Amino acid sequence: MRAIMIIGDGMADRPLRELDYKTPLEAAKPEHMDKLASNGISGLLDPIAPGIAPGSDAANLSILGYDPWKIKGRGPFEAAGAGIELEARDVAFRCNLATVNENFIMIDERAGRIREEAGELAKALQNVQLRENSDIKVVFKQTLGFKGALVLRGEGISSNVSATMPNAGDRVCSVKPLDASSEAERTANALNEFVKISHELLKDHPVNRRRIAKEKPPANVVIPWSGAEPLIIQPFYEKYKLKAACIAGASLIKGIAKLSGMSVVDVSGATGDIDTDTMAKANAALRAIESNDLVIVHVEGPDEASHDGNIRGKISIIKKIDSMVGAIIDHVDLAETVVVLLADHVTSLRFRKHTGDPVPIAIASTEVVQDDVRQYNERATCRGGLGRIQGKHVMPLILNLLSIPEKIGG
Ligand code: ZN
Ligand code: ZN
């Protein structure tokens, strides 16, 4: 027995006025997801606990059975997913290429969602040397579009600084130490210096001159946020005795997989956005399940569309995930392979952020007693046989179906 877990990032939502108070999953009418739910047992899942709105780091770690409350920042996962080898005393940050004006006031946190051109800009940011904090080494890596990771390496640094993503209208370069230590002060200074240097290197870059000429926002600064020292997590294999592989475009998810010792399958065409090649992911999943006990297939696109308030985009990526689900369930034997479908959290199109609502989960297998749910969405799965469960229950449910239940007592 083995399992494939399909995660649509931020795929669940609330009812929307624009959709006659249907959710995007209801509006998309995903036939293969509905078939998956019809062939198994469904329910509602609180990724952490009722009413708690998780970041993707907390939600996905919770679903994999790790304690989400131990996470101090997503930076180390982003950096590991970007291919940076972390050292124990590093402080790692997620980064955005963003747009600021000449007074360092934030204009666009994602630089107009810059895509291909971001790679060219990133070349200018290789080998950045800090001048005032020259003993702190800087490693920057751009990942997908406006996203990237930054690692600070050196003696006497600390993650206890106020590195958050400034909102439009806020001043950047305003990272402050959060305690009285010299480490926190040095780190805050180093971050502000890095942001200033990134602006010097990017503001007149030919890519940005072209963007300005086309009236697109220039990606003229790098903003580090959500920093932390690397989190030590128990290797997935040691925890569950399952050989696991992960297929994802988003660096955060790749990083969670790497730091938990899963193998990461690179799929060309996995963009971490709504244009991702979901069929390539389905094929990669079907190949990977031949040599693994568990394959996780993560699709970031619904979350991106939701943060943009893009209703059509969200419905269209749900339909693409539906085709991927179809390609997977049509090629596996549910007597041998358990297929789990869930979202890691709700990302509300209306509010453009994560909320604390539960998400639908469905588990297809011949080993479960089928319930009467015939659709995969927030409303239909309310009536499912799983009832209402939490993120930490997902792995025990899977282990039980794989005939390796956690046992208690004699
Ligand atoms: Zn997420
Ligand atoms: Zn999100």
Instruction: In whole angstroms, give the CA distance from residue 206 to residue 166.
Output: 26
Spatial CA neighbour of 385 closest among 405, 367, 403, 408:
367
How many CB atoms sit inside 10 A of residue 180's CB? 7
129 alpha carbon – ligand 2 mean position (Å):
32
- Give residue 304 CA to ligand 2 midpoint distance, Å: 7
- Low-confidence residues in the chain, pLDDT < 50: none
Look up residue 105 and give its two tokens.
């006031």
- In tens, the pLDDT along 93-128 reads 999 999 999 999 999 999 999 999 999 999 999 999
Q: Which ligand is closest to the CA of 304, given by its number?
A: 2
All structural domains of the chain with their residue ranges: 2-71+233-401, 79-228
pTM above 0.85, yes or no: yes
What is the Å distance from ligand 1's center to 271 Cα? 15
Q: Which percentage of the chain shows pLDDT scores above 70?
A: 100
CA of 314 to the centre of ligand 1 (A): 14
* C-alpha 325 – ligand 1 centre gap (Å): 18
Which pLDDT belongs to residue 136? Answer: 97
Ligand 1 centroid – CA 345 distance (Å): 6
The answer for 379, left when phi > 0, alpha when psi is -120 to 50, beta otherwise, is: alpha
Report CA 185 to chain centroid distance, whole Å: 30
Residue-level pLDDT at 406: 82
Tell me how crowded residue 142 is: count the other CB atoms within 10 A of its CB: 24
Q: What's the pLDDT at 269?
A: 82
End-to-end CA distance of the chain: 25
Separation of 162 CA from ligand 2 center, angstroms? Answer: 20
State the pLDDT at residue 100: 97
CATH of span 2-71+233-401: 3.40.720.10
Question: What is the pLDDT, as a whole number, of residue 220?
Answer: 97
- 40-59 pLDDT, tens digit each: 999 999 999 999 999 999 99
DSSP class per residue in 367-400:
TS---S----STTGGGGSTTEEEEGGGHHHHHHH
Distance 59 CA to ligand 1 centre (A): 7
Ligand 2 midpoint to CA 266 (Å): 22
